[in-house]
Amino acid sequence: MAILGVESAIFGVDDIELCSKFWTDFGLTGVSRSAAQAVFEVASGSKVVVRRRDDASLPSAYADKPGIRETIWGVDTAEALDRLLADLGRDRPIHRDADGTAHFLADDGMPLGLRVWNKRAVVSQPDAVNAPGRIQRLNLHRKWRQRAIPKTINHVVFFARDYVASLEFFVDRLGFRYTDHSRGAGAFARADGTNEHHSIFFVSTALPMAPDEPGFMHIAFGLEDIDELMLGVNQMDMKGWKNSGLNTLGGLSRHRISSAIYYYFDNPNGGEAEYHADTDYLDDNWVPRVWDWKFGSLLWATYTPSFWRGANIEWDMKFDKDRSSLEPFRGIRQKGSMGPPPSEMIKLKA
């Protein structure tokens, strides 16, 4: 074990006041606030840091727009941190702060940091679920909450030109575990010190609906159960926060690949912020899988896209222990202005 997950997600924004209001409404706990910076946290101790876009302390942007400017990954011990840095230092500059935090660039130019992190334990108490013939909650009503309070930062998602190379840096140099591959669309990996299905997901910029440049897509926060998630969605909607972006297709939905229930909001900090519940949890006995992108996406969505409705989408999932499915997608085609029909969206170059 070494990397425990996202310790801090550092955003560079144009409007600290508006962006801070978003995180407060979203349910994060304020830690500190000044004219130059706002800091929020969740129960695990993971933090969201909001700074001005032109703050000189921020690294150069992975993409020149608001969003995560640097992801700081938490490491369990100083010894593990030293081992990681000794390897990384062979082929890249590393800058260390007075507190020991190390800053460097991934092979694709993404700004990253590592620091020792005393991650806090999180205790959840979701209500038992009743089903016909299986009573788990007898003479007992489900609890009622007053608001949604995220407990963890489950994962971050970025667009990448070569999602295979971006993923392999995290696996080969930082010890992440490859978990699943959405064929031609992107690949998932989890930090070795956490059990969430994925800690990072790289999405191909070759997708017709994706931007042409690498950059931040979204950040996901773990909630206790679907009740807390639905409450959070309703409260955010009443406060005026909506979803009109790339992930609006599904509404309140469940991912097929990771089983997670989710909902996305347009995030003034950049990209989107996701409420996330009931994800798959994995350990090193997990065997990675490769999925057809269409088979693995949006079939359980509240608003299923028209080209899925009524379609006879056959089971398409195979095991991929040796990562062999990733190799063909080093050469995925560049998208056209609109792209081909959905059924032909992901193709290799001719």
The pLDDT value recorded for residue 333 is 40
The pLDDT value recorded for residue 71 is 97
Residue type, 282: L
In the predicted model, residues of the chain with pLDDT beneath 70 are 63-64, 244-250, 298-300, 304-311, 330-350
Residue type, 44: S
Digit-coded pLDDT (tens) for 30-54:
999 999 999 999 999 999 999 999 9
Domains of the chain: which residue ranges? 3-120+148-331
CATH tag for 3-120+148-331 (out of 3.30.1120.10, 1.10.540.10, 3.30.70.260, 3.10.180.10): 3.10.180.10
The pLDDT value recorded for residue 198 is 98
In angstroms, the CA 159 to CA 204 distance is: 6
The pLDDT value recorded for residue 86 is 97
The pLDDT value recorded for residue 296 is 79
Residue type, 193: G
Contact (CB, 8 A) for 65 and 215: yes
The pLDDT value recorded for residue 237 is 94
Note the pTM of the prediction, 2 decimals: 0.91
In angstroms, the CA 316 to CA 296 distance is: 8
The pLDDT value recorded for residue 3 is 98
Q: Alpha-carbon Rg of the chain, whole angstroms?
A: 20
The pLDDT value recorded for residue 252 is 86
